[in-house]
Amino acid sequence: MGEIKGGDCVACCGIHRVEKRNRGAVYGLQIEANRKIEDCENGRDFEKSDIDWDKTEQNIFLIKCDKWNREISNQIKKSGAKEKKNSIVLLDGVYTASPEFFKDKSQKEIEKYFNDCLTFHVEHYCKNDKSKIINAVIHYDEKTPHLHVSSVPIFEDEKGVHLSARDIMGGRDDYMKRQDLFFEEVSKNYNLERGDVEKSRSGKAKKHTQKREWQIANQEQELKDNTQKMQNIKNATEYQISLLNETNRRLEYQKTEYSKMQKKIEEAKRQIGYIQKLEMIKEVFADFCDYIKSIDLKFNIFDEYNYDRENYGMEKINIDKLLREENAKNQDIGGR
């Protein structure tokens, strides 16, 4: 497996890299590893990445955590280890292979390779304790698929439990041994060559660089680390700005809703005023009706009184007439 270039065979290699991270880097690593389409929509840009956001939803989580700092703190507290100000709290691992390796592989084959990589990480960086893995995601949205693994470097020996990346990672010789182990346990099973070691054409390992070159390499690494820290700060700042913008947007929405509610309240007050006025009119009208009824009653009494008075007058006239007629008769009788 490989491609011919310039007369030499450039073989596909298994790639395995693990770096130490402190608290300042955790959040930036989290938002990049667990990225979502919304990050792109909100204008987030991960520097020096070749993310194809159309493929981000294809990323697969083997283990997922949405709050890395909290989970790290929980694991440290649960283990009884102590965290210092500048403690390394995370081992940041990346597992992949040469791009050519993935060209003729199905998704099932690719994921089997990365699951083997995860098993390797658990065994050699977590002492076979899978619970120390807080996040493991396969990124399919970059040029070359890769597995991003994050674990907490909790180490236990005869002295007790420690938060110690140094005891787990060891020195350069330990790193080279783990590269050998990765080749034996993972890469070789997929016909991949051993990565991370430069060899001369004679097959012998390349000699160590001179002291000055070693110093330059260290300075370059330090510059790279500082650049990464600055990028992490930038990412965290951008995230906080996006949160602030979202908060402002929600605040404006609430202001609009509050204004609408105020208008509804004023309208309700006006309606209540109308109702109260109608009630007052009803009361006045009721009083007016009672007054009309009382007047009708008085008129009825007055009519009865007039009727009785008229009848009394007629009776009195008739009686007077009868009296006069009776007196006339008496006078006639007396004259005779």
Q: How far apart are CA 244 and CA 69, in angstroms?
A: 21
Share of the chain above pLDDT 90, in %: 46
Q: Does the model's pTM come out above 0.85?
A: no
In the predicted model, what is the mean pLDDT of the chain?
82
Our CA dihedral for 315, 319, 322, 328, rounded to 10 degrees, sits at -140
Level-2 CATH architecture, domain 2-199: 2-Layer Sandwich (3.30)
What tokens does 116 get? 């083997």
Q: What is the pLDDT of residue 257?
A: 81
Q: Where are the alpha helices (DSSP H) in the chain?
A: 23-33, 37-41, 68-79, 99-103, 107-125, 165-169, 172-185, 211-335
Q: Indicate the pLDDT class of residue 290, thresholds 50, 70 and 90.
A: confident
Domain ranges of the chain: 2-199
